[in-house]
Structure 1
Amino acid sequence: MRDFPTCFGENGVQVADSSSSSSCTSKAAQNLVTCVYHCNSADGSFMISISWFRNLMGQGLSVAIDDSKNQCICKVDIKPWIFARRKGSKGLEVGSSEIGVFWDLSRARFACGPDPTEGFYLAVVLDHELLLLLGDMKKEAYKKIGISTAGGSCNAVFVAKKEHVFGKKLYTTRAQFHGGGRTHDIAIECDAVHAGDPCLSIRIDGKRLVQIRRLKWKFRGNDTVFIDGLPVDVFWDVHSWLFGNAAGDNAAVFMFRADERSSGAFDPAAFESPWLSCPPRPFKEAGFTLILYAHKSE
């Protein structure tokens, strides 16, 4: 749960507790999207992280569950060769509870990322209570997990997304910042290599909302924009683009935080803080956070 789960053990489906750890190279983090959901149940509150990845071996996913104390209680890693079967389930016992993960991606369709856009379902069940249900094949999911449609609704809230994007000057993604709002196109443009005075632009649905000139002096900062009539804090750190990185990582970091109680204050240390790991915010906070790692392609 603490790191991107793209390195696995020998088993096709691996269960890990909070003491598990893995070491992944920067290449392993490519083509990776992690989505975090806040779920309430009769047994308490949970954060569920779904990580979708694609590498040379194929596609896979990981499901990790944290309790209200931000402690990982279990993790299920589905390797590419298991993922290739496109459907399956896994049940495991955690203490006195039983957790089930069900998925069907046999008809899944993908856009540009490793996460499916339609034609699939992914469900997480705790003691016969539906915690999370993703995808548009809900009827098939209810039938598979044996929960009626009337009694199987879940109250999961999509609270964060962490994504790696690649490009030379332009980096794009999509996000829904407010519950019930529409999905917006996000475009970040910067020529930090050839421009004598590099400029950073951030557009939402084609409209430029942020423009930073003299970027070498303002390589780290924040601004507030309005999307769907509500404030969204935008943070950026493009130091590695302009001045290089001793570790060899050329990724800039962008964060979009939709929170009606956000103060807009910028903390540079936040980009290196464990807060950016999953779960990305305390349970008591509301709103949605999008974190982008923008890698410059050669």
Structure 2
Amino acid sequence: MKDFPSCFGENGVQVAEASPSSGDPITPTTTTRIAQNLVTCVYQCRMLNSSCFIITITWTKSLMGQSLSVRIDDSDHHSLCKLDIKPWLFSKRRGFRNLEVGSKLIDVYWDLSYAKFGSSPEPVEGFYFAIAMNQELILILGDMEKDVHKKMYATSLAPNGVLISKRAHVFGKKAYSTRAQFCGRGQIHDIVVECDTMGANDSYLLIRIDGNPVMQVKCLRWKFRGNYTILVDGLPVEVYWDVHSWLFEKLMGNAVFLFQTCLSSEKLWSSEDPSWLSKDRHSGLGFSLVMCAWKNE
């Protein structure tokens, strides 16, 4: 688990070349920072010359404010750079950064001036965030794509970034919610997990997608871990749950819920048939969602 950035700093944007280390050790400070409202999204992006990059974006919200962390890795898992953006400090809600890492020119543009949020630190609408590599747009987020095209020059304006995983730390008493896009550029779904562990005989777990119940587990004290397959957008999605710490540990930790599409993400790029690749991009193969649910006492 990476050490997530704090929300305060002297500058609105901090840039650093990340070390090639595979991960940072978990320390008490790291654990404290993890236990806050944050969402991490991992995108697989390809350029026209077939170069592949992994872009990790973490949206964070705490008592100090909100922030955004971006990390770019190449296909060999070498970190190119890491940016910490604090848009809610002073005038940094809109901006851009131009970076030169070796032979690569990286342009990052964002506008969160009118961003709207729900319960999550991840904005829902009214924003854009875009990354170009060597003047080729490889990732764009938000609903203001036309504004991005006006701001930046790019040889390619059709980014092919695919969301391959999402990790959300969510808080609640009995209900925990997040949003997920299981089908590439398809529909964004509202996911709610209702979990009552107080009753000895009537504890239960209920999962709703877009308000519709899709899975229910009763007698949770006997079924505190398990898995079940549901259908989302016609795709089989394996659901795993682990609420052991809520039921049997003295120190209340977090429950974990995993939603995993049943086919591997490598299949997204394995086919030489462009039409098959396009179909897979929209089917959401290889996507996983991890919900770490923390109880508000």
TM-score bracket, normalised by the shorter chain, equals 0.7 to 0.9
- Return the match for 2:54 from 27, 35, 47: 47
The reply on whether 1:16 has 2:17 as its aligned counterpart is: yes
What is the aligned-residue identity percentage?
A: 49
TM-score by length of 2: 0.82
Q: 1:9: Cα distance to partner?
A: 8.9
Q: Conserved in 1, the CA contact under 8 Å of 2:66 and 2:87? A: yes
Q: Within 1, Cα distance between the matches of 2:18 and 2:8?
A: 14
Cα root mean square deviation, aligned? 2.5
- Counterpart residue number, 1:287: 286
- Return the match for 2:168 from 143, 163, 166: 163
- Counterpart residue number, 2:269: none
Equivalent positions of 1:260-279 (< 5 A) are 260=263
Q: Conserved in 2, the CA contact under 8 Å of 1:34 and 1:161? A: yes
Q: Within 2, Cα distance between the matches of 1:83 and 1:241?
A: 40
Q: Within 1, Cα distance between the matches of 2:113 and 2:189?
A: 28
Structure 2: any 5+ residue segments left out of the alignment? 266-283
Q: 1:44: Cα distance to partner?
A: 1.1
Post-superposition CA distance 1:148-169 (Å, at most 9, x none)? 7xx3211111111111111111
- Return the match for 2:260 from 252, 257, 260: 257
Provide the aligned length of Structure 1 versus Structure 2.
271
- Return the match for 2:231 from 214, 223, 226: 226
Post-superposition CA distance 1:27-79 (Å, at most 9, x none)? 55412111111100136111111111112221110111121123322110113
SS in 2 for 1:242: helix
- Counterpart residue number, 1:32: 38
The reply on whether 1:203 has 2:202 as its aligned counterpart is: no
SS in 2 for 1:24: helix
Q: Within 1, Cα distance between the matches of 2:230 and 2:98?
A: 44
Structure 1: any 5+ residue segments left out of the alignment? 263-284
Report the residue type matching 1:54 in the other structure.
K
Q: Conserved in 2, the CA contact under 8 Å of 1:178 and 1:287? A: no
Post-superposition CA distance 1:243-296 (Å, at most 9, x none)? 126xx452100010123359xxxxxxxxxxxxxxxxxxxxxx942111101111
- Return the match for 1:90 from 85, 97, 112: 97
Equivalent positions of 1:236-251 (< 5 A) are 236-244=241-249, 248=251, 250-251=253-254
Report the residue type matching 1:289 in the other structure.
S
SS in 1 for 2:149: helix
Equivalent positions of 1:57-76 (< 5 A) are 57-76=64-83
Identify which range, 64-73 or 174-183, moves more after superposition.
174-183
Report the residue type matching 2:106 in the other structure.
I
Q: 1:214: Cα distance to partner?
A: 2.8
Post-superposition CA distance 1:163-195 (Å, at most 9, x none)? 111111111222221235422222211211244
Post-superposition CA distance 1:75-110 (Å, at most 9, x none)? 101135547521111122212212121111112111
